[in-house]
Structure 1
Amino acid sequence: MTADVNLELMLKVFPALVLLLLVAWICGRLALMVMQPRVLGEMVAGVLLGPTLFGALLPETQAALFTPEVRSVLYVLSTIGLTLYMFLVGAGIEHGRKMPGEVGKAGVLAVSGILPSVVLGFGVGLALHGTLSRPDISPFEFALFLGGALSLTAFPMLARILYERGLENTRLGRLTLIAASIDDAAAWCLLAVLTAMHLNTGASGALRTILLAGAFAVVMLTVVRRLLRPLSAAVARTGRLGPTAMYVVVLVPLTAGWFTDWIGVYAVFGGFIAGVAMPRDAVFRQALHGRMMDVVSTLLLPTFFTFSGLNTQLGGLAGGGLLLAFAAILLAGFCGKYFGCSLAMRGIGFGWRESYAVGALMNARGLMILIFINIGLAQGMITSELFAMLVLVAVITTAGALPLYKLALPDRLERARTADDAEERPLEQAGERVG
């Protein structure tokens, strides 16, 4: 009987997964044709397969394909995919190429992206509380939620944009990745505080999450990093990841993702920190990416981006008053991130072109904001109208990220700066050896 049930579930999941990946591939190709990152197409694919289009045109077919049990399986696959992808991003960061003061500069960039967005979002939230908020949510809680949502940067999407352009280990790429990870970690901590307030668990619940997240990062980057060093030696001898090493590099990020999810911080950060804790050796990184990246980026990651759009309903945005409210939210979100990060980059010594390029990248929100607001909607902190508006904010800011980046830093200038970074690396590494 159990075998029959499992077979029945498999026969339901496979068609949904095939359709999901097919639409994601088509939309991804279309996105590339219009100079957008592939991930934006994958995100739009999920929205199209949800109630907004597919569910509106063929509601019975959509409901039959994406039943609750099928969605549960897709959710597990998508979360595993995102966790492993961010693990590979963390493992790919070249620690030895850090510029002097890079972490401090990334911290300045992160704060400059968080504070203006939270302040502007908080102000707009106070003004719109009577229009958009649920009656049982206080103005302070509503405004703080909106500010937190607007402070997010699309960490996974940003990482994939940088990887597609080969920028993950340039000065701009490293600074932006580190700053985005700080931004999103802060936003999740804020969500923990809001959840504690909403569920009346008190400040102790939020404090527990923050302390456990900090302790987790310290343990991973000290104790676990030392324990993982023999992996590098094994790969150096054989030139590849053996079966035992593969078990380790899969179990470590999944365990880290499970733990961060359990403490109240999304699993993506556990995967990323696990990647940062991996050996720094270039041969090890190449072997790791060669074994895992293709499967993760072509099967599991599109499942995450597309699945997340299945629950998105854009029909809630209608009427002049709601459109004005949406415009105010979009303006607050755009200005807070774009100008805050651009001015910060200029203040720490970068040129205006590089500053505006980073401001454009940090302004992309992607699906991290969708995860954030889905939690808020599920817990009854926001209305469906605000949810729909923030979905559009995610799509618009993400769609604008790459064009604004290329406007500030055209391809020829980007190549020149990448070449400059490559010339500086031998000098940096020689300085580290002398030091």
Structure 2
Amino acid sequence: MIQLGALIVLVLLTDLGGRASRAVRMPRVIGVMFTGVAVGIALTVLGGELPLGPLLADEGLLQGAATLGIVLFMVALGHHLRAPVAAAVAGAEGMRPSPARVLGAVGLVTGVPFVVGVAAAVVTYEAWAGEGVAFPAYAVMHGCLFTLTAVPVLQRVLAEYGLADTRLGRFALTQSLITDVAVWGLVTVIVGLHASGDPRTAVVSLGMLLGVVILLCRAWEMLCARTSAGAGSRAVSLVLLVVVVAQVGEVFGQSTLVMGLAVGACLRHDPGTADVVATVARLNLRTLFPLFFVQIGLTLDGWSVGGPGLPLVVVGAVMAVAYGSKWVASWAGARVYGMRPDAGAAATLLSLRGATELALAVALYEGGLVNAAGLTALIVFAVVSTLVAVLCSMPLRRRSSQVEEPATADVAAVGATG
């Protein structure tokens, strides 16, 4: 009971950080993220001297709650990414770029950072690769880290800045959707390959796992359709479904975060399901999800950022290249797409990472692809790059004085989470 009270205090602290963030006209999740990480670091460094330190001596409850929070976040993200990308591809304000321009933009925004990340893997492989990870798998993972965007944070920023239905907003969201779908697909395959050690076994295991997830999701949907359970009962049953699928994923050697993403991607997009996902996402945002950032702070080991044989200046250079390659590629992609005046704004929006990058880092760590030093570096990069991108994007608020919320319930749920 005492530990449960300590968790409630942590949630309230992160909520204060979120409110402070909104007070300075920044997305709420930025305040929650920085407050949670700061509190986690404080508990690590000054645990014995802080009131909450002794109460959290056993981190089992906190770790369990934080894990469930980030897995439920991945469910909302997966449900959002499953939506047809074509709906976002249509240009706004009468703009209809040619297929060549669209493909050129996708190739630049997604392909260039990936290639740069693969090349940069040579620098970090020895220091950050997990035990027994082959260089090709690590290099592909490294490319994914350089490429990833953050659909939830981007959705929230576009809505708050009144850019959701503009040409700029549609372009940024389209590119972000395409990139994140490709990245998470690759990560799922890489983790599966690393867990099995054999390509044929990995393909069979992933196929079987996908079949099990689809069957469980369809069973849950049929149960909800044939019963008169209320919204609360359906939300609880969805959480139980996610827990069961996560346990099944562990049997197959998959990350719990990837399994959460799979559940969201396999759920249908009918109004009833979307409402349940939205309800769970809203509750998770206010309760369990902030604890993920606290857990990140507790995990963060500042002394290991440099890793063995990798000076901090090299770490900083790698992070600068990761952010710079994404920004420049996105700027070039926007110009190819036909958005020359807004190319810089589009590049800034597509450089947002946030909780999605943190989730990817944890998934790779759980899958054994990166070690503790690599996890620490990825956490620092996600936090710093998100802060820089959000600060740079704040002038975009002046483009519109009217805030436009996402139209669909599932998009609203993910947007609120970000």
Structure 1 and Structure 2 fold alike (TM over 0.5): yes
Instruction: State the structure with bigger RCO (CA 8 A, min sep 6), 1 or 2.
Output: 2
Structure 1 CA distance for aligned equivalents of residues 187 and 162 of structure 2: 33
Identity %: 20
Structure 2 CA distance for aligned equivalents of residues 149 and 158 of structure 1: 17
Structure 1 residues 79, 323: closer, same or farther in 2, change over 3 A?
closer
Structure 2 CA distance for aligned equivalents of residues 301 and 318 of structure 1: 28
Aligned to 1:366: 354
Aligned to 1:413: 399
Aligned to 2:413: none
1:335 aligns with 2:324: yes
Aligned to 2:190: 194
Structure 1 CA distance for aligned equivalents of residues 105 and 239 of structure 2: 27
1:82 aligns with 2:94: no
1:69 aligns with 2:60: yes
Structure 1 residues 178, 36: closer, same or farther in 2, change over 3 A?
same
Structure 2 CA distance for aligned equivalents of residues 357 and 220 of structure 1: 42
Q: 1:399 offset after TM fit, Å?
A: 0.6
Question: For residue 185 of structure 2, what is the amino acid of its counterpart?
Answer: C
Question: For residue 20 of structure 1, what is the amino acid of its counterpart?
Answer: L
Unaligned runs of 5+ in 1: 1-10, 232-241, 423-435
1:348 aligns with 2:337: yes
Structure 2 CA distance for aligned equivalents of residues 309 and 252 of structure 1: 28
Q: Mapping of 1:14-413 within 5 angstroms?
A: 14-50=4-40, 52-59=41-48, 62=53, 64-65=55-56, 67-79=58-70, 81-83=72-74, 85-86=76-77, 99=90, 111-130=107-126, 132-133=128-129, 136-208=132-204, 243-244=229-230, 251=237, 255=241, 259=245, 262=249, 264=254, 266-270=258-262, 272-273=264-265, 277-279=269-271, 295-317=283-305, 322-353=311-342, 355-407=343-395, 410-413=396-399
For the residue of structure 2 that corresponds to 1:153, the secondary structure is coil
Structure 2 CA distance for aligned equivalents of residues 256 and 173 of structure 1: 32
Structure 1 CA distance for aligned equivalents of residues 175 and 259 of structure 2: 18
Contact 1:134–1:383 (8 Å) recurs in 2: yes
Bigger Rg, which one: 1
Higher alpha-carbon deviation: 86-95 or 74-83? 86-95
Q: For the aligned residues, what is the CA RMSD?
A: 4.8
Structure 1 residues 401, 275: closer, same or farther in 2, change over 3 A?
farther
Question: For residue 411 of structure 1, what is the amino acid of its counterpart?
Answer: R
Question: For residue 179 of structure 2, what is the amino acid of its counterpart?
Answer: D
Structure 1 CA distance for aligned equivalents of residues 6 and 185 of structure 2: 34
Q: How many corresponding residue pairs?
A: 392
Structure 2 CA distance for aligned equivalents of residues 337 and 187 of structure 1: 14
Q: 1:194 offset after TM fit, Å?
A: 3.2
For the residue of structure 1 that corresponds to 2:311, the secondary structure is helix
Question: For residue 338 of structure 1, what is the amino acid of its counterpart?
Answer: W
Unaligned runs of 5+ in 2: 408-418
Structure 2 CA distance for aligned equivalents of residues 45 and 30 of structure 1: 10
Q: Deviations over 1:91-134 (max 9, x none)?
A: 999997872679x7887655533322221122122134345556
Q: 1:76 offset after TM fit, Å?
A: 5.0
Structure 1 residues 204, 12: closer, same or farther in 2, change over 3 A?
farther
Higher alpha-carbon deviation: 140-149 or 87-96? 87-96
Aligned to 1:8: none
Aligned to 1:429: none
Structure 1 residues 165, 94: closer, same or farther in 2, change over 3 A?
farther
Structure 1 residues 165, 76: closer, same or farther in 2, change over 3 A?
same
For the residue of structure 2 that corresponds to 1:363, the secondary structure is coil
Contact 1:55–1:63 (8 Å) recurs in 2: no
Q: 1:71 offset after TM fit, Å?
A: 2.6
Q: 1:213 offset after TM fit, Å?
A: 9.0
Q: 1:334 offset after TM fit, Å?
A: 0.9
Q: Deviations over 1:190-248 (max 9, x none)?
A: 33343344345322354357767988999999x99x999x99xxxxxxxxxx8546655
Higher alpha-carbon deviation: 386-395 or 131-140? 131-140
Structure 2 CA distance for aligned equivalents of residues 417 and 351 of structure 1: 25
Structure 2 CA distance for aligned equivalents of residues 215 and 349 of structure 1: 41
Structure 2 CA distance for aligned equivalents of residues 288 and 157 of structure 1: 21
